[in-house]
Structure 1
C-alpha cells in the first residue's frame, strides 16, 4: 500500500439511517458526504457538525457518531483486484472494524475515532499488523 498512502481526515463523521424515500438537503460546498439510497432505507455519512443542520436529522431512525475517514487518493484502476481485501486484512489483523465508501477515483474507509491513528499506521505499512490465526491476509 506504499503506492497509495492513506490520509486521515481530521473531521469526525456520523452515519445516519433515515427512512426510505428521504431526500438529502443541499450540502455546503466541499463537505464530505455519502448518500446510499435503496427501497429499504437511506444512509447518510456526514460530518458530525451537520447533525444540527436545518434539523434534518429529526427524521433519523439511528445515528452513529465517532467515525473518522481514511482516504486513499487515487486513481484506483477499475481493474485492480484485491485492494479492499488488503485493507480489510490489515485492519482485521489489528482488530479495527471499518466500513468503506468508494468514489470514482478515490476510496475511503471509516474507522472509529479512537482507532484512527492506529489504522493509518497499519494501512501505511509502517509496522506490520498483529498476527491473528485465520484472519491475516
Structure 2
C-alpha cells in the first residue's frame, strides 16, 4: 500500500446509539452518518448536538475525524489496514466509516495529535488544510 493523504478535521464529533423511533436532524460537521440494523441505530453527529439527545441515547466522544483523500478506487485493498495498524500500535481506539468515495477514521479528540504523529511516522501525510 502506498502512502495515503489524510485531513484531520478540527470539529468535535460524537457517536450515539439512539432508539429506532428517535426523530433527529443530523446537523453540520465534516461527516454525518446514520447506520441502522435490526438491533440498533447508530449516528455520527456534532458533539454539541449530542448533549441534546438526553437519556434516550448512549453517547461516546468527543472524536475528531481523519478523512482519507479520495476518491478511492473500489479495487484498492489494504487501505484501512495501512491506517489502522499504526493507530493500534499507538494504542489509539477508532471508529471507522466509509462513504462511496473515501474512508473516515474517528479518533478520540484527546488522541488526535498522537494519531496524526503515528500516521506520519508510518509514511502517510496528515494535514489540517482543505484538500487542493
Map of 2:56 onto structure 1: 60
Contact in 1 for aligned 2:13/2:45 (Cα 8 Å): yes
User: What RMSD over aligned residues (CA atoms) do the two structures have, in Å?
Assistant: 2.4
Gaps of 5+ in 2: 125-132
CA contact (8 A) 2:32 2:45 kept: yes
Following superposition, the deviation at residue 21 of structure 1 comes to: 4.4
**Aligned residue for 1:112?**
108
1:135: which partner in 2? none
Paired residue for 2:129? none
TM norm structure 2: 0.80
**Offset at 1:127?**
7.0
Aligned to 2:90: 94
Deviation string 1:10-49 (CA, Å, 9 cap, x unpaired) is 0011111112344532x44666211011111110111112
**Does the 8 Å contact 1:101/1:109 carry over to 2?**
yes
Aligned match of 1:42: 41
Runs of 5+ unmatched residues, structure 1: 129-137
How big is the shift at 1:97?
A: 0.9
Contact 2:12-2:47 within 8 A present in 1 as well: yes
For the 8 Å contact 1:70–1:110, the answer to whether it is kept is: yes
Q: Is the radius of gyration larger for structure 1 or structure 2? A: 1
Q: How much has 1:61 moved relative to structure 2?
A: 2.9
**Larger RCO, structure (CA 8 Å, separation 6 or more):** 2
